[in-house]
Amino acid sequence: MPNCLICKSPTTNPTVLKNGKTYHHCPNCDFTYLDPQFHLSPEDEKLRYDQHQNTSDNSEYMEIFKRFIETAITPYTATKILDYGCGPNPVLTKLLKKQNLEAEIYDPYYFPTKLQSESYDLITSTEVFEHLRNPLETLSHINQLLKPNGYLAIMTKFLPPNDQFASWRYKDDTTHISFYSPKTFTQMSLGLELLYHNDLDIVVLRKIN
């Protein structure tokens, strides 16, 4: 069995679904990921992102972001904010601006800005982590960009109970390849501590070193 991409523990027997897709699960930290042979090519992945309808015209989507701001940004004191993995339409930063909060943006595909280490009080990453091939690499990049005691606020849907995984629609988006529970974020040994989670899709971590 391959070792977990987050905590390096051995994964369990892979789960093979009816469509043949194979998932690895880590019993130590819950991290679950699609076997790399089923990943899209980076070109096809980019094509899917270009077609994403996450614009400010979609009111359901705006409500999700408003809830994220109330839950994971407003409660924490932060003047320098970065939206990491903002995608082609940085909707979150527009919403933040309405609340007099400024955020810089970064996206490896759309806004590959060069960023300075230890610059930010708070980094948001919404609907990014389910797409990551190597989440630990991204987490250590984000960790470097955070000031000591800075916050990382992530939005990604948490895994359902094991017996509901096969019918869980979130995993069926072909670009969704990595799945977490709040426990996953406690097993990374990067110096990030779990401050808050809502049991559904939001987790807030703090850099403790």
Whole-number minimum distance, CB 153 to Zn ion, in Å?
A: 22
From the centroid of its chain, how far is CA 209? 22
Q: Are residues 86 and 92 in contact, defined by beta-carbon separation less than 8 angstroms?
A: yes
Which residue in 116, 182, 102, 173 sits closest to 147, CA to CA? 116
Least Å distance, CB 5 to Zn ion, is 8
Whose Cβ is closer to Zn ion: residue 11's or residue 54's? 11
* Positions of E strands within 18-173: 22-25, 32-34, 81-84, 103-106, 120-126, 146-155
Q: Shortest distance, CB of residue 184 to Zn ion, whole angstroms?
A: 7
Provide the minimum distance between the beta carbon of 128 and Zn ion in the complex, in angstroms, as a whole number.
19
Q: Which residue, 136 or 195, has its beta carbon nearer to Zn ion?
A: 136
**Please, what is the minimum distance in Å from the beta carbon of residue 182 to Zn ion?**
13
Given a contact cutoff of 8 angstroms between Cβ atoms, the answer to whether 14 and 23 are in contact is yes
Q: Give the residues lining the site for Zn ion (CB under 5 A).
A: 4, 6-7, 9, 26, 28-29, 31
Cα 156–158–160 angle (5° rounding)? 145
In angstroms, the CA 98 to CA 100 distance is 5
